[in-house]
Amino acid sequence: FTCDPLTGNPGFITVTANYGIGESVVSASAEPDTFVLKKRRLEDPSIQSSQIGQKSLYTTTSECDGVATVPVSEEKAQRSCILEEDVLALAAIGTQIEKTYTTPQDIEWALQNGNFFMLQCRPVTTFLRESDCELLNEFNDGLKSAKEILTTGNVSEVLPGAPSPLGMSLLRCAFEVNCRANCVKFVQASSPDPSQYMPMWGPMYCYCYFLWLSDGLRKTGNDGNLMEKSIMYSILGRDASSEVEAGVKRMRKITRWKVPVQLFFIAKTMFTVTSGVESASKKTGDLHLKIDHTATAAQIYDFMGRALHELREPSILLMKAALSSSFYNVLILRILSTAKGALDNEVFCQLSKILKGTDAESADVPRMIQVLGQVLRESPEKEKFLKMTTEEARHWLSTTESDCGKKYREFIQKHGHRAVKEFDVYTKPWALDPSSLLKSLKAAAAAPEMKQTAPSRWDASQFPYRLSMFQSFILKLVAPKARAAVEAREATKSATVRVVHQLRLLCHQLSNCMVQEGRLPSHKLLFFLTYEEIGILLGTRSPELVLKAQRRQKIHAKADKNRYPSVFVGIPKPIERLEKSVEGDFEIKGTPMSQGVVEGKVRVAGTFDEAPLIQKGEILVTTATDTGWTPYFPLLAGVVTEIGGPLSHGAVVAREYGLPCVVGIEGITTMLNSGDTIRLDGNTGVIRKIALLQAEDD
């Protein structure tokens, strides 16, 4: 290889060699000698490291059978099969071939009687393919500085974990494209960033969204500290100012003549926050994005593109309602803290009382579950329902004409589009997967009835500290508007999610159609392509995009588990989980041949006859693999072999599939048993058995 076959680093050359013809190296029937050479700018390459392989046998020509496998004597096995000067000469030849073809090359060669023969060469296919690290960071947005203040507040509630690539495309359309003009108007007097390439709300990093605080925490005048604390409390529920002292807090230049215009726009938005909400809710409730079932994938894709405009109205209303609600909260906090003389817990207690009693749509979900739970509790079929499986319960509630069935179908009709991570089209809401909902209903039906008391409205006359006449007037004027803003925010959020759900149903129809047309091997892969990439795939049938979607699916599962601090300064870094210390485990190191880290169950297969026992997600541990094992690789999470090299089948296929792979661990098939749990690190070559951790988990 005229580059590092593992990382693609063009500064190195890797040479593997064995006695006889090259079949023993390619088939991994013998461990070859390996030489790593470092390229130098004005000089010939130099040998950086060498490793003498076992070379227990080699392949040669035979007059009878054409090819024969012959054992290597112990004396020959212990010394290198090629001289260092021949290695240097071979590296020079490889460098010339690389210059001729202008790309790193994978070259098969032979040396006989002092003469080199170049048998074949091809470009290194994995050299230009993105690494797992590159795929994990491919959607990252740039940071304005190295000391940006970022937070997961709000974002972790609305969109926890990592959204799918297709979900990101639609979210960008809903909020970045549709809402940018209105967002700029909210801060037009403070010279907002005019770049169309900088996200308005905050950057994405490793598939996760964050909010920018550096632009919001501007200390202006004597109220700067109060405003900063108000924003912190609004987003995080606590004052984290001391944690971000090292961060950037931008002081933008204020354009005085724009201040009245900005204030007028903010006031108009705040006082008309409920305008258009009811009509948007009705419109999205009646929305059904349907296309004939005989339509082709290309026709469904075009229809979905034309339907994206349905996101515009509810997303803009949601943005206005969310900002208005935030402005009202800050205004009320300003009044209360001024009257109290400090921004403390008592002030926030009063704020919660002021906002209490809203008729928010999100609050209707637990209410309807409680009502449905009460109906189930009083139903004569209660005990039967509690003993049903999830699928049986779903079928019964969907078909029965009893009050239980009617209430359930009413709930699905009204709130079936909701779920955790509901803005992502990859998520299955209650209408598609009600398993979590049915568990809640069973718990509600089994629990004793609880009496509910209606929330009391805030009464200004019972305020614990004195307000001036002006403060009391403003508070009485603003309080109902603040509650209305909360209701508008929840209603428009639900309306936006309804449109997302309709687009979700289109995505499922499109994915099924693309599978039927042979464009995708699995319907789930559609959600790991961006909207633009789907169009490219429909036009080109690009296998590279399908492979990228498969790799993204694996990376997404890991990124979705990452958790970040609630507020921090600088580049986002996941919170490190402490590994459990397990006594009696062993750790062994081999040679890494494909990068990645995975933890899972082991499948020890001494021979190919045991290959059919492989289960999805297992790590294969075997002596060596050849072409016959290839159909099982899509099931695997990783590969470990006793013998092999960069050209061995297991290493090559593992790299193509993006599986972690470690080779050269003699006796590993006798050290492990099927069902053991190991941690396979394809970056360092370390394998760690964690049997006791498995026992604890069990």
The count of other CB atoms within 10 Å of the CB of residue 441 is 24
Of 317, 353, 318, 307, residue with least CA distance to 332: 353
The one-letter code for the residue type at 3 is C
33 forms beta bridges with 17
Distance CA 606, CA 609 (A): 8
Distance CA 587, CA 686 (A): 7
Which own/partner pairs from 131-138 qualify as long-range (CB within 8 Å, at least 24 positions apart)? Answer: 131/7, 131/8, 131/595, 132/551, 132/555, 132/595, 132/596, 132/658, 135/548, 135/551, 135/552, 135/555, 136/206, 136/207, 136/555, 136/558, 136/559, 137/205, 137/206
Tell me the average pLDDT across 673-677: 86
Residue 222 confidence (pLDDT) = 44
Q: What is the pLDDT of residues 571-600, one digit of tens each?
A: 999 877 544 333 457 888 777 777 778 888
Q: Which helix (H) or strand (E) holds 533?
A: helix 531-540
Tokens coding 673:
């048993």
Residue 693 confidence (pLDDT) = 45
Inform me whether the pLDDT recorded for 201 exceeds 60. yes
Give residue for tokens 């061995």: 648
Q: Give the mean pLDDT of the chain.
A: 82
pTM of the model: 0.71
Greater pLDDT, 536 or 656: 536
Give residue for tokens 């390619």: 26
Residue 578 confidence (pLDDT) = 43
Task: Assign 30 to helix, strand or coil.
Answer: coil
Residue 221 confidence (pLDDT) = 40
- Between 99-108, 299-308, 680-689, the lowest mean confidence (pLDDT) is in 680-689
Inform me whether the pLDDT recorded for 18 exceeds 70. yes
Inform me whether the pLDDT recorded for 268 exceeds 70. yes
Tokens coding 6:
């593992």
Residue 220 confidence (pLDDT) = 41
Residue 154 confidence (pLDDT) = 74
Of 419, 407, 404, 427, residue with least CA distance to 367: 407
HSE-CB at 632 with a 13 A cutoff on CA atoms is 24
Inform me whether the pLDDT recorded for 236 exceeds 80. no
pLDDT category of residue 356 using cuts at 50, 70 and 90:
low
Tokens coding 509:
């129809």
Tell me the average pLDDT across 387-396: 90
Highest mean pLDDT among 224-228, 326-330, 361-365, 628-632: 326-330
Q: Say if residues 672 and 601 touch (Cβ distance below 8 Å).
A: no
In this structure, the strands spanning 638-641 and 619-622 are parallel
Distance CA 161, CA 140 (A): 15
Of 499, 421, 556, residue with least CA distance to 174: 499
Distance CA 619, CA 599 (A): 8
Task: Give residues with Cβ within 8 angstroms of 558, minimum separation 6.
Answer: 136
Greater pLDDT, 10 or 297: 297
Inform me whether the pLDDT recorded for 454 exceeds 60. no
Q: What is the pLDDT of residues 500-517, one digit of tens each?
A: 999 999 999 999 999 999
Task: Give residues with Cβ within 8 angstroms of 616, minimum separation 6.
Answer: 635
What counts of helices (H) and strands (E) characterise the chain?
24, 20
Tell me the average pLDDT across 102-128: 87
Environment class of 695 (CB within 10 Å of its CB; exposed 0-12, middle 13-18, buried 19+): exposed
Beta strands in 534-657 (DSSP E): 567-569, 587-589, 591-594, 597-604, 619-622, 638-641
Distance CA 368, CA 325 (A): 25
pLDDT category of residue 662 using cuts at 50, 70 and 90:
confident
Task: Assign 666 to helix, strand or coil.
Answer: coil
Give residue for tokens 């989980």: 577
How far, in Å, are 109, 172, 513 from residue 508 at the CA level? 50, 20, 9
Residue 489 confidence (pLDDT) = 86
Residue 115 confidence (pLDDT) = 92
Q: What is the pLDDT of residues 473-485, one digit of tens each?
A: 888 888 888 888 8
Task: Give residues with Cβ within 8 angstroms of 161, minimum separation 6.
Answer: 208, 421, 559, 560, 561, 562
Environment class of 488 (CB within 10 Å of its CB; exposed 0-12, middle 13-18, buried 19+): buried
Task: Give residues with Cβ within 8 angstroms of 31, minimum separation 6.
Answer: 53, 54, 55, 56, 643, 644, 645, 664
pLDDT category of residue 632 using cuts at 50, 70 and 90:
low
- Between 171-175, 334-338, 459-463, the lowest mean confidence (pLDDT) is in 459-463
Inform me whether the pLDDT recorded for 444 exceeds 50. yes
Environment class of 599 (CB within 10 Å of its CB; exposed 0-12, middle 13-18, buried 19+): middle
Q: Say if residues 664 and 590 touch (Cβ distance below 8 Å).
A: yes
Greater pLDDT, 495 or 465: 495
Backbone φ and ψ of 529, nearest 5°: -120, 145
Greater pLDDT, 271 or 255: 271
Residue 690 confidence (pLDDT) = 82
Domains, the chain, with CATH or none: 12-123 (3.30.470.20), 144-357+460-557 (no CATH), 361-446 (no CATH), 587-697 (3.50.30.10)
Tokens coding 432:
């598609």
Give residue for tokens 């090819």: 67
Distance CA 378, CA 404 (A): 10
Greater pLDDT, 420 or 390: 390
Residue 459 confidence (pLDDT) = 67
The count of other CB atoms within 10 Å of the CB of residue 239 is 14
- Between 136-140, 257-261, 288-292, 626-630, the lowest mean confidence (pLDDT) is in 626-630
pLDDT category of residue 606 using cuts at 50, 70 and 90:
confident
Of 573, 556, 555, residue with least CA distance to 564: 573
Q: Say if residues 309 and 287 touch (Cβ distance below 8 Å).
A: no
Distance CA 159, CA 285 (A): 22
Share of the chain above pLDDT 70, in %: 84
